[in-house]
Structure 1
């Protein structure tokens, strides 16, 4: 029998090892397997990631650095050297102007001294804008100032990029003009602003003044052409009416000279009065004949004399009637024909006079309209004289060049490595 005071075996005490840092509980020892369960499986060790090796310079890095120096750093340094040591200073002269039109609205406002300065005509300003970029203006200014000599003051051997290469053709000069003369046109306000570059302040101002002067002459020519267009039709009508009036008056003068009559109507009135007088004399003579016939014999010489008087008066009346419109006389001396010809000439002269007065009034009105709508060039900025050079803008040009080269190098590098990685 087993003794009652025999103690059972005690459980093993936990190991008093050091606790892990951070207050974490240490992993417990595996519990013993119960009797009859077999041996315990071995515990797998923890997976530790491999250590990253230290970065080293590779050939691709050297290639990228070399291409950056070759495509970006060296060209930028060359550009900076050229801009600050070779490029000549340029001076700018500014001028601004617009085409204006002075328009008087009515004769009443004209008498009151009220005039309206209307806005610039867009069509005239468009024409002027094209003129400022035309070969014609380049030829005129070159003949006046010798642009080739002005723009080649910077030695092309030292500054081949910004200097003009003489002599060159007119097309070369026009291309360089577009580089040195900048024209800004504000279509909303109709203002034209110019910037003229040259290698001395005086040359820049002289070119700007020449441009303004030639632009003024061109606008004056346009105004003169418009005025002539307005007056041409009315002037032609006036000339035709003047010639017609001259012809009518000449025909009237010839008629008076041929017929020796100044006013046929007055002559007719005289003839009518003469006929009336003859009719009265004829009536009186007939009465005398009747009285003598009743109081004396037929052989009385007084009766024969009165009858002879009546015959003479009747013959005279017939002759005068033939002159007025009868058929027995000469047609050239018949007053009816003369009066008809005179009335035709008078109508022609009256019509010519009315046409002349109408044409003259239209011409005067066209002249007033042409004077009322006169164009001129108004400068809101006179040609300026520079005191310091503004161009070329070296910092801006160098920055843009560096940015472009960097973008080009970046794109080229990315494409190169993308193609290489695909392979």
Structure 2
């Protein structure tokens, strides 16, 4: 009799078991984790590894200073350390120019900035015009500011210019154009300051010269009116005449007294008395001419001295104004400010941006942090509801 033998072959394979296990694993993942962590990380990987275009950075360093600029003191360096900048630094004018529409216009004339920051095929999230950005002058300026940055180091006084572009030579060309524009700005500031200084000094010299001419005209009119070239000299001469008259009168009186004592009846006494009287009248006239009478030399001398003082002041003012003009012209011949390049724009041979894996891990960590905070809040709410 034949015996039937059964062999255990194991459980039958279910074709859908693997798929169900996979679906079960996916179901175990919370929907919030997929939306908050997995989806942003996947999008970041797609962008940084597939879409993002490489960016080349050209960097330059410069300083704006004057030849006679003094070094800051210890107090000035301490104030700079707490964020108070020295008023002597003129770099910020160049900073504002580089990031302004005028700086963009100057660079656009030198190089095609519009074409260099809007390369066809580049990342449409970064290039100009990017997604949602219009092709206009204002849009170009907004896009330009994404590619150009300038900073300042307060401790050293050195400014740093960084230009990004999709090609190394494009970034270097834009950086060189912007530095040339900054140098042109500094030269214009020098020319305007020198022109204003020279014009101001020349205007002051013209005013001083006109005042001196006016004083001299008044002095000439005074001499013509008074009839004296030098009233002081006339007063001195009149004083000398009065002194001589006094001496002559005294001599004649002594002679008369001597004659009257020896010969009282002498006929010469009348002659001597007549001469003494004449000399006394002349002395009185000379004294009246010097002071006391209308039109005397005393009043003329006072007015004359006042005019001389005004003339001396006008002469000194003219001399000072002339010296100021010479100084201003000498200062105008030399450059008061200059932009000195410490490091010229480099030609980058490798892209430094974007930092792809750094960006991906940043998105991952940020999303994990957000998810963790959300999960903690959700767990706290559930625990509160159970109680």
Task: Quickly name the TM-score band, shorter chain normalised.
Answer: 0.5 to 0.7
What residue is the counterpart of 1:162 in the other structure?
A: 126
Q: Secondary structure at the match of 2:142?
A: helix
State whether structure 2 residue 348 is matched by structure 1 residue 386. Answer: yes
Q: Following superposition of structure 1 onto structure 2, how do residues 35-46 of structure 1 map, counting pairs within 5 Å?
A: none
Q: Which of residues 336, 339, 346 is equivalent to 1:377?
A: 339
Q: Which of residues 131, 155, 158 is equivalent to 1:188?
A: 155
Task: For 1:406 and 1:364, locate their aligned partners in 2 and report how far apart those are by CA, in whole Å.
Answer: 73
Task: For 1:59 and 1:310, locate their aligned partners in 2 and report how far apart those are by CA, in whole Å.
Answer: 152
What residue is the counterpart of 1:320 in the other structure?
A: 286
State whether structure 2 residue 224 is matched by structure 1 residue 257. Answer: yes
Structure 1 length-normalised TM: 0.59
Contact residue 289 and residue 303 of structure 1 kept, 8 A: no
Q: After superposition, give the CA deviation of every residue in 1:60-99 in whole Å (9 maximum; x if it has no partner).
A: 5233569688887787666656555554443221101234
Structure having greater relative contact order (Cα 8 Å, sep ≥ 6): 2
Number of positions where the alignment pairs a residue of Structure 1 with one of Structure 2: 352
Contact residue 90 and residue 390 of structure 1 kept, 8 A: yes
Contact residue 103 and residue 117 of structure 1 kept, 8 A: no
Task: For 1:277 and 1:126, locate their aligned partners in 2 and report how far apart those are by CA, in whole Å.
Answer: 81
- Displacement, 1:227? 8.4
Distance 1:317 1:190, change over 3 A: closer
Q: Which of residues 60, 71, 96 is equivalent to 2:61?
A: 96
Q: Secondary structure at the match of 2:21?
A: coil
- Uncovered stretches (5+) of structure 1, i.e. residues with no partner: 1-54, 106-115
Q: Which of residues 21, 25, 28 is equivalent to 1:61?
A: 25
Query: Which of the two has higher C-alpha Rg?
Result: 1
Distance 1:117 1:372, change over 3 A: farther
Contact residue 122 and residue 190 of structure 1 kept, 8 A: no
- Displacement, 1:208? 1.0
Distance 1:192 1:277, change over 3 A: closer
Contact residue 37 and residue 364 of structure 2 kept, 8 A: yes
Q: Which of residues 165, 181, 187 is equivalent to 1:198?
A: 165
- Displacement, 1:279? 4.5
Distance 1:169 1:64, change over 3 A: farther
State whether structure 2 residue 233 is matched by structure 1 residue 266. Answer: yes
Q: Following superposition of structure 1 onto structure 2, how do residues 189-338 of structure 1 map, counting pairs within 5 Å?
A: 189-218=156-185, 247-279=214-246, 287=255, 312-327=278-293, 331-332=294-295, 334-338=296-300
More helix by share: 2
